[in-house]
Amino acid sequence: MVNNMMHNTLQNLGHYRILLASNSPRRRELLAGLGIEYETVSLPDIDESYPSGLKGGEIPAYISKKKAESYKSMMTEETLLITADTIVWLDGKVYGKPSDEKEAEEMLRQLSGNTHTVYTGVTLTTREKERTFTVATDVKFAELSPEEIEYYVRKYSPLDKAGAYGVQEWIGYIGVESINGSYYNVMGLPMQRLYRELLKF
């Protein structure tokens, strides 16, 4: 009975071939947890630049839409494409993926002892329509010592993560004092909101 209920809940997605456009193992793991069948696609060297006037959640929303444009040529009538982008925002400044370990350490020094906001923009795209939404989560970091920061960056090499940290890793265990909002959003996909948006879509 429970399986039938779940099947009915998600049956509106049954006629779509769902594509997750992402290199992120976290996003793939999270989407798999919804229990829907999907495939992953990834194009190299997608331009993730954005207009300088954008702020906060406007940035990942813009980039997730821009990513969707890059994949449109490989979509058919049956395709439902999911693109996403995540940034860390502190004091009016964007913290994306660090370019090297030195920049990763500097990012974590600035996040240390402060509350930052994680924004994820998600775009759902078919040939007929497109829907973009943004979710915000506030994350409060404890004061991190230079030794803790150096240990984390050396051991976990978080160069593929916005703000140079993965909340599900060691730094999250020892550094995150509190989270206001979706935990999964900090990992890279706001699952509860995504589920609701897929149902409506």
* Residue 85 annotated to the active site: yes
From CA 55, how far away is CA 89, in angstroms rounded?
9
Which amino acid is located at 124 in the chain?
L
From CA 46, how far away is CA 113, in angstroms rounded?
34
Contacts of 86 (CB under 8 A, 6+ apart): 60, 118, 119, 120, 121, 162, 185, 188
Choose the catalytic residue: 45, 47, 85, 160.
Answer: 85
Cα 125 to chain centroid distance, Å, stands at 17
The SS3 assignment for 173 reads: helix
Q: What is the 3-state secondary structure (H, E, C) of 34-79?
A: CCCCCEEECCCCCCCCCCCCCCCCHHHHHHHHHHHHHHHHHCCCCE
Cβ–Cβ under 8 Å, residues 61 and 134:
yes
**Per the structure block, which two tokens stand in for 190?**
């706001």
**Catalytic residue ranges:** 85
